[in-house]
């Protein structure tokens, strides 16, 4: 099975900072990569599909890039409401493995 | 609007089984795969498997193969996830999610149920 590895596992940044989270697949998955945002005590929310397509209603400060095995989630200007854990997930085929998550906090 | 409404919290003894339901509304029930994802306390997301509500076909994670069964009742637009031989490691929040359209392009989980807490304790 393809493994999904996220880094870092956690980060702390200041409001307004640019934040980058990476996700690596152990084999190529084209662009079948999604990013989810899970705020504390809430249900995960789909943020980005197809590696770079921002979901309707998601703030434009979020963006995704990559294909094959290496993917990136970027927050261009971190806001207090972005405090959450972010997960990547492959959905090219089963199993739809998730990365282990990246917890984003405000410094 | 699309909604997935799950059954309430459960407390089970080790060795028992649990069956969680997920009622869909706001879209054509047989038109989209339903996936199940779980999250242990303080841990990450774990994909469990999917069911095709149209055909009844299923695909399970190897982690749960032989211990999980996913079924559906099209008459009431509901899918079920039953997990057997529970241990304390199965204590988690269980989510149903809507996935790819049946016969369509691959798509991630765009709608999620509210989650069902299953606690396994003696």
Mean pLDDT of A19-45: 98
Residue A105 sits at the chain B interface (C-beta within 8 Å): no
The tens place of each residue's pLDDT in chain B, 122 residues long, gives: 999 999 999 999 999 999 999 999 999 999 999 999 999 999 999 999 999 999 999 999 999 999 999 999 999 999 999 999 999 999 999 999 999 999 989 999 999 999 999 999 99
CA B11-B42-A96 angle, 5° bins: 90
Count of CB pairs separated by less than 8 Å, A with B: 60
Confidence at residue B70, expressed as pLDDT on a 0 to 100 scale: 98
Within 8 A by CB and 6+ apart from B111, the residues are: B2, B3, B4, B97, B98
The count of residues in chain B is 122
Confidence at residue A23, expressed as pLDDT on a 0 to 100 scale: 98
Q: Which residues of chain A neighbour B36 with C-beta distances below 8 Å?
A: none
Summary mean pLDDT of chain A: 97
Confidence band, pLDDT 50/70/90 cuts, at residue A103: very high
Determine if the peptide bond prior to A95 is cis (ω within 30°).
Answer: yes
Confidence at residue B38, expressed as pLDDT on a 0 to 100 scale: 98
d(CA B73, CA B62): 24
Mean pLDDT of A3-14: 98
CA-nearest residue of chain A to B36? A96
Residue A31 sits at the chain B interface (C-beta within 8 Å): no
d(CA B70, CA B31): 17
- Helix (H), strand (E) counts: chain A: 0, 10
Burial class (CB in 10 A: 0-12, 13-18, 19+), B92: buried
Q: Pick A94's closest partner by Cβ from B44, B46, B59.
A: B59
Confidence band, pLDDT 50/70/90 cuts, at residue A71: very high
Q: Pick B112's closest partner by Cβ from A44, A85, A97.
A: A44
With a pLDDT cut of 90, the percent of chain A lying above it is 100
d(CA A78, CA A19): 7
Burial class (CB in 10 A: 0-12, 13-18, 19+), B16: middle
Half-sphere exposure of B107 (CA within 13 A, CB side): 17
Residue A91 sits at the chain B interface (C-beta within 8 Å): yes
Residue A68 sits at the chain B interface (C-beta within 8 Å): no
Summary mean pLDDT of chain B: 97
CA-nearest residue of chain A to B96? A43
């Amino acid at each position: 099975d393809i493994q999904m590895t996220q880094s870092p596992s956690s980060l702390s940044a200041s409001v307004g900072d640019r934040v980058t989270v990476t996700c690596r697949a152990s084999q190529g998955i084209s662009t079948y990569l999604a990013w989810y945002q899970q705020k504390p005590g809430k249900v995960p929310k789909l943020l980005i599909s197809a590696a770079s397509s921002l979901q309707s209603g998601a703030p434009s400060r979020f963006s995704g890039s990559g294909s094959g095995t290496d993917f990136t989630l970027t927050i261009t200007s971190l806001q207090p409401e972005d405090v959450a854990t972010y997960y990547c997930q492959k959905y090219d085929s089963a199993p739809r493995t998730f990365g282990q998550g990246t917890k984003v906090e405000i410094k | 609007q699309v909604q997935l409404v799950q059954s309430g919290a459960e407390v089970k003894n080790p060795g028992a089984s649990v069956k969680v339901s997920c009622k869909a509304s706001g879209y054509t029930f047989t038109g989209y795969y339903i996936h199940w994802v779980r999250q242990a306390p303080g841990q990450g997301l774990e994909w469990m498997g999917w069911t095709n509500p149209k055909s009844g076909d299923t695909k399970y994670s190897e982690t749960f193969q032989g211990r999980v069964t996913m079924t559906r009742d099209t008459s009431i637009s509901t899918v079920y996830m039953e997990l057997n031989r529970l241990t304390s490691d199965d204590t988690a929040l269980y989510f149903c999610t809507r996935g790819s359209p049946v016969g369509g392009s691959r798509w991630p989980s765009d709608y999620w149920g509210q989650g069902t807490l299953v606690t396994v304790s003696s």
